[in-house]
């Protein structure tokens, strides 16, 4: 029986694990992909304290080193369900684990466009990660779809690799920080199209060759080797128990406690105003210290 199992090895889950381990609690971290989570897909971070600038994969690696240096027990596997009763049960494909407290730190995943060819063209011109796939389109013309911080930052990253980057925002303006947008606007190989909603992904011989988009009611076409999609995300909610939601996200109180007494949730999976690294780390710290206090009273 673990004191606490944490599902998700992003910055939120790892922070919680560090605090619990330092308090000498029996903690297990479960990650289905790469430690550091979404950080592994981020090209540049400029607002994380202690680093003037750092790449996402470098920060992810630092976090993984911290997991190992603190001798935090971890498993690389996918949690397929959870159950809650007198204790909490965490189901993996081949085993079931038990814990007193559970922290859900499963983050969110990129939202898809929902267009007919999208899944078929994944890896053949459709991507949700400029850092992972940008180099496949070196010196080519590409498009970035989206209007938020991620779209702008990743368009800037692509403008240093690709021949030309067209950014399509479905709104009349961007919804992002001014500084980074100004940097993008200075680039002479970037075109910005406002009020432009992508309506089809067109393929030839199994590869993306162009997209159609609707701009102010007029249907237009642009040739492109790739589209990088940054149009929001959907939280990774685990099946098994019905926790109270706020929209699509898990609802928590100020201790990061969900609607079930022994289940906490942290980071990008919870409902909040700002989804940022320092906030996710802070959530992990709050949940862990709340659980530590409760364990110490037992």
Ligand X SMILES: Cc1cc2nc3c(=O)[nH]c(=O)nc-3n(C[C@H](O)[C@H](O)[C@H](O)COP(=O)(O)OP(=O)(O)OC[C@H]3O[C@@H](n4cnc5c(N)ncnc54)[C@H](O)[C@@H]3O)c2cc1C
Calculate helix-pair angle for 56-69, 11-22, nearest 10 degrees: 20
Q: Which of 23, 26, 32, 61 is the binder for ligand X (CB under 6 A)?
A: 32
* Binding residues among 66-95 for ligand X as defined by CB under 6 A: 78-79
Strand partners, 133: none
181 binds ligand X (CB under 6 A): no
Phi-psi region of 164 (alpha: psi -120 to 50; beta: other; left: phi over 0): beta
By CB under 6 A, which span of 61-69, 195-203, 215-223, 276-284 interacts with ligand X?
Answer: 276-284
Q: How far apart are CA 288 and CA 257, in angstroms?
A: 11
180 binds ligand X (CB under 6 A): no
259 binds ligand X (CB under 6 A): no
| Nearest distance, CB of residue 129 and ligand X, angstroms | 8
By CB under 6 A, which span of 17-25, 134-142, 210-218, 268-276 interacts with ligand X?
Answer: 268-276
CB environment 220-234: b (16+ within 10 A), e (fewer): eebebbbbbbbbebe
Q: How far apart are CA 99 and CA 294, in angstroms?
A: 14
Strand partners, 192: 167
Of 20 and 42, nearer to ligand X (C-beta) is 42
By CB under 6 A, which span of 40-48, 93-101, 111-119, 166-174 interacts with ligand X?
Answer: 40-48
258 binds ligand X (CB under 6 A): no
Tokens for 165? 């980057």
Which residue reads 């970037």 in tokens?
A: 190
10 binds ligand X (CB under 6 A): yes
Q: Would you give the DSSP letter of residue 136?
A: G
* Binding residues among 196-235 for ligand X as defined by CB under 6 A: none
* Count of chain residues binding ligand X (CB under 6 A): 34
Alpha helices in the chain (DSSP H): 11-22, 56-69, 130-133, 149-159, 178-185, 277-297
146 binds ligand X (CB under 6 A): no
Of 133 and 154, nearer to ligand X (C-beta) is 154
- SS3 of residue 285 by DSSP: helix
By CB under 6 A, which span of 104-112, 137-145, 156-164, 200-208 interacts with ligand X?
Answer: 104-112
280 binds ligand X (CB under 6 A): yes
Q: Which of 38, 72, 142, 291 is the binder for ligand X (CB under 6 A)?
A: 38
Burial of 280 (0-12, 13-18, 19+ CB in 10 A): buried
262 binds ligand X (CB under 6 A): no
Tell me which residues touch ligand X (CB under 6 A). 7-13, 30-33, 37-39, 41-42, 45, 47, 78-79, 105-107, 150, 153-154, 236, 238, 267-268, 275-277, 280
């Amino acid at each position: 029986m673990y004191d606490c199992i944490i599902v998700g090895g992003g910055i939120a889950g790892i922070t919680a694990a560090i605090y619990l381990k330092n308090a000498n609690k029996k903690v297990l971290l479960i990650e289905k992909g790469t430690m550091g989570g979404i950080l592994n897909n981020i090209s540049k971070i400029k607002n994380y304290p202690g680093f003037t600038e750092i790449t996402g994969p470098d920060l992810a690696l630092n976090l993984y080193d911290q997991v190992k240096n603190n001798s935090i027990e971890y498993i690389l596997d996918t949690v397929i369900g959870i159950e809650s009763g007198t204790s909490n049960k965490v189901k993996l494909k081949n085993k079931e684990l038990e814990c007193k407290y559970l922290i859900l730190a499963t983050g969110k995943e990129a939202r898809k466009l929902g267009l007919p060819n999208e899944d078929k063209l994944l890896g053949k011109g459709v991507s949700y990660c400029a850092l992972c796939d940008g180099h496949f389109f070196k010196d080519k013309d590409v498009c970035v779809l989206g209007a938020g911080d991620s779209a702008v930052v990743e368009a800037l990253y692509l403008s240093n690799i690709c021949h030309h980057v067209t950014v399509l925002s479905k709104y009349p303006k961007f919804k992002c920080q001014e500084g980074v947008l100004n940097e993008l606007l200075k680039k002479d190989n970037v075109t910005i199209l406002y009020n432009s909603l992508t309506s089809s992904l067109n393929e030839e011989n199994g590869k993306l060759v162009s997209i159609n988009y609707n701009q102010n009611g007029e249907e237009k076409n642009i040739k492109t080797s790739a589209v990088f999609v940054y149009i929001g995300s959907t939280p990774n909610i685990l099946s098994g128990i019905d926790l109270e939601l706020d929209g699509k996200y898990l609802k928590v109180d100020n201790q990061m406690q969900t609607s079930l007494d022994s289940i906490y949730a942290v980071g990008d999976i919870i409902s909040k105003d700002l989804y940022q690294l320092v906030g996710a780390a802070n959530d992990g710290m709050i949940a862990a210290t709340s659980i530590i206090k409760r364990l110490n009273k037992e």
